[in-house]
Structure 1
Amino acid sequence: MSRAQDARAKAAVPSTKPDGERVIRRRPKNRRAQIASESAAAFGTLGYHGVSMEDIAARLGISSAALYRHYPSKYALFREELLRLSAAAVTAATPPVAAAASAAGDRLATVIEAIVADTIANRPTAALARWEARYLKADDRRIFDERFTTAITAVRMLIGELRPESPRREQTVRAVAIFSVVSSIGDHHAHLPAKALAVVLREAAWSVVRTDLTAAEGIPEEPPVFDVPQAFKHQVVLNKAVELFHERGYPNVSVEDIAAAADLSAASAVYRYYRSKDALLAAAFRRVADRMAAAIAPAVELSESAEEALARLIDLYVAGSFAERELTFVYYAEFGNVSSYERTVLRNIQRLVVAEWAELLVDARPELSPAQARVLVHAGFGLVVGLGRLFGNDQRMCSRAQVVGLMETTLFGRRAAR
């Protein structure tokens, strides 16, 4: 008898309770769906490299052998979830056939509502599509990217019907902005009841559609880029590490790789500046967190209103994102790879920053609750990161001034008064 046959026989063998009553144990009919759901939750929390088949089996209370009967590898589970998410995005972005005769605004409203509902339903794994898709194999990544391109194109075409006066480039930027704002809920744990959350996200998405970006058409000068002097070798090492983490993913970069990129003689030379690869990642994240925290007090002191202070902070956040695009991406994509202690410290700083921004936003928009304001602040951050992830620093496709305008609109529901 094979191992699989033996397992099936055991699953059907009746056991006996102390009182003599027989109980027949059978494998659940939906076991495969349970496995897919539990693995998706694990990937959403820990990322692809942070999960093993043993972890998933333990979550389900089954043996690894039982898990392998349904899925041949961890990658198979990962692939299934990401391709499911990409297919769901296409479905959400496609107006129903029954709405074909409806006005463009009504069809766009239906699509925005579907995108919001789908993202809320998949919130535990929404971040996977943003940060972990680079670990898909080439053919799977092509399918994944094509599906999201299809979804973005569908939304872009609806925006074009509603706003035919806007250039196609601008329509694309708005479509990407909608997905970025809505999917930002996968990057944080700010809580609102599902219905209230849907309202906030829908309104933010519509603000992105309606806002006037003509005032942001000018292409600002690129911020100057300075080479880091070799005397500041610790900074060179940090910068090269961030570049590699961005390009390959933190788990796929070794200390030897970092040493070679920084022109160090050996991997041991890295340890003169940082005690570990983990310490390098934490130092990079501290730079982002400290920069954002340090900007708040001066912005408030220099401003006459909460709205003006937030507008200053938006300018600084967008400028910092453009200046350190790779670091901004790595901060979101690799947060789970720092030590638990550093993660706690960084999360505390992040909470304080978001709380300060949210407090200013409530002052500027008293109709918002603190919880709604926090969701919008995170949506603004997600917008900037999402646009940068797709367009980089391409000022002709999406200028820094336009990103500022879209972030203002996400937070205020309109452009900031300047």
Structure 2
Amino acid sequence: MSIAAAGGNSGEPAADSGIGGTRGPAGARPVRRRPRDRRAQIAVAAAEAFSALGYHGVSMEEIAARLSLSSTALYRHYPSKYALFRTEALRLGAVCAAATRFPPEAAGWSVEQRRRHLFDAVIGAGIANRRSTALLRWQGRYLEPEDRAVVAADLAAVAAAGRALLGESRPELDEPTKTVLAQSIQSIVSSIGDHHVALPARVLADRLRAACLAVWRCELPPPGGPHGRPAPAVPPTFTHELVLKHAVALFHEYGYPHVSVEDIAVAAGLPTPSAIYRFYHSKGDLLAAAFRRAADQVSAAIGPAVAAAPSPAAALTTLVDLFVAGSFAERELTFVYYAEISNVPSDQRKRLRAIQRLNVEEWAKLLAATRSDLTPAEARLLVHTAQALVIDLGRRFGSDDPTCSRQRVAHLMRIILFGDATADAVP
């Protein structure tokens, strides 16, 4: 099943000469043909730009430059940036929904055959559209309500297909548990849009398939249990902390581009917007400060966990528990960290990315020391996948739904990292 993104060589083809070509009389200028799929090329290039830099971080001029087009030529194909954004978002949503449809002959297949087909189709679509996936994951909030509803329905079809097959394969599961497992499988596939771990397509597909199957088969702990620890209250005298807290809450609810310094000042109870500049140089500096906090919390846990653990597997298990607890305590910050990284000033974004890479590398070393079947790149892939799962389940279920408790999320992380054969044996 091929669900590759429309694309191809973005350059203009050279003009032909002679019979059937486009060159006129000797010495005349060659006529350059427009590629038949130029419109599709533009949409894919725009989606990749939106995924990397955010919808508000890209201009039509920048998209035109990526394709060596003039702005005038670009506007001939799409009347606005939103039209481009909408086109590719709807296409990606439709691709996701199409991957869940079975061919007519599937009526005679076993549940296992249909499960294999579903995994292969969804994973194939995800890999084919990897460079554009983040557009739906993190930029979908900027779609108009009607368009957002269409995309949401398409994505819901993926989860619904997973739930239906899980019901046939594992009739003992209740509906909430099937929803958690189906959402986890969807997260595993879509998470590859969040990072650039380079693996051959076949290896990438195999690792994603194995992780999906491990989640499909896993036995979750009973629902319920303690929720995440509450975020500590900020004393009213700690103005810089109040500003940071309210800024993150506003970025989470409305999106960074739609929040002004004045909005933050009002939420924090400051007399004027200029009061914020006593603590932060700009709105971008405020965002970077929040990101540094999130990255530093993950970094600070690694050394003590390794020092206190009897094995790499035990150390990684401790880090999983701490990561889940931290995410449950600060849901808004973890979402903003993934969704708004493109809005951090460039120099600070590079430093934050470096910290994130080092954190993933340390986790991956522990995982590779536990699983000899993984290459370093495969270990990094699984670390990214497991960490993204926590954010995705948090967006779907929040921190108070007992069907997606801390214990269940941590168990799913271990399943992805260690595999279904070893997850339950890890101390």
Which amino acid in the other structure matches residue 77 of structure 2?
A: H
In the TM superposition, what is the alpha-carbon distance from 1:96 to its structure 2 partner?
2.5
Q: Which residue in the other structure is 1:307 paired with?
A: 313
Residues 178, 205 of structure 1: 8 Å contact kept = yes
Take 1:191 and 1:124, find their aligned partners in 2: how far apart are those partners?
12
In the TM superposition, what is the alpha-carbon distance from 1:355 to its structure 2 partner?
0.8
Distance 1:130 1:22, change over 3 A: closer
Q: Which residue in the other structure is 1:53 paired with?
A: 60
Q: Which residue in the other structure is 1:370 paired with?
A: 376
Distance 1:27 1:321, change over 3 A: same
Moved more, 146-155 or 258-267: 146-155
Matched, 1:115 2:126: no
**Aligned partner of 1:294 among 273, 297, 300:** 300
Map Cα deviations across residues 134-164 of structure 1 (whole Å, 9 max, x no partner): 0000111111111111221111111111111
**Aligned partner of 1:396 among 399, 402, 423:** 402
Map Cα deviations across residues 373-407 of structure 1 (whole Å, 9 max, x no partner): 00000000111111111111133231111000100
In the TM superposition, what is the alpha-carbon distance from 1:47 to its structure 2 partner?
1.5
**Aligned partner of 1:254 among 248, 256, 260:** 260
- The sequence identity of aligned pairs, in percent, is 54
Map Cα deviations across residues 208-247 of structure 1 (whole Å, 9 max, x no partner): 111111x343421442343211111101100100001111
- Pairwise mapping of residues 17-56 of structure 1 onto structure 2 (< 5 A)? 20-56=27-63
Residues 184, 379 of structure 1: 8 Å contact kept = yes
Q: TM-score, normalising length from structure 2?
A: 0.91
Which amino acid in the other structure matches residue 412 of structure 2?
A: L
Counterpart secondary structure, 2:108: coil
Moved more, 233-242 or 389-398: 389-398
Take 1:198 and 1:143, find their aligned partners in 2: how far apart are those partners?
28
Map Cα deviations across residues 65-101 of structure 1 (whole Å, 9 max, x no partner): 2211111111011011111111111111233332122
Q: Which residue in the other structure is 2:281 paired with?
A: 275
Q: Over aligned residue pairs, what C-alpha RMSD do you find?
A: 1.7
Q: TM-score, normalising length from structure 1?
A: 0.93
In the TM superposition, what is the alpha-carbon distance from 1:27 to its structure 2 partner?
3.1
Take 1:86 and 1:394, find their aligned partners in 2: how far apart are those partners?
29
Take 1:222 and 1:387, find their aligned partners in 2: how far apart are those partners?
14
Take 2:87 and 2:27, find their aligned partners in 1: how far apart are those partners?
44
Which amino acid in the other structure matches residue 118 of structure 2?
A: V
**Aligned partner of 1:183 among 190, 193, 199:** 190
Take 1:377 and 1:49, find their aligned partners in 2: how far apart are those partners?
29
Q: Which residue in the other structure is 1:381 paired with?
A: 387
Take 2:171 and 2:217, find their aligned partners in 1: how far apart are those partners?
12
**Unaligned runs of at least 5 residues, structure 1:** 1-13
Map Cα deviations across residues 155-204 of structure 1 (whole Å, 9 max, x no partner): 11111111111111111111110111111111111111111111000000
**Unaligned runs of at least 5 residues, structure 2:** 1-21
Q: Figure out how many residues of one structure are paired with residues of the other and give that number.
A: 404
Matched, 1:339 2:345: yes
Take 1:107 and 1:16, find their aligned partners in 2: how far apart are those partners?
56
Q: Which residue in the other structure is 1:326 paired with?
A: 332
Take 1:80 and 1:397, find their aligned partners in 2: how far apart are those partners?
36
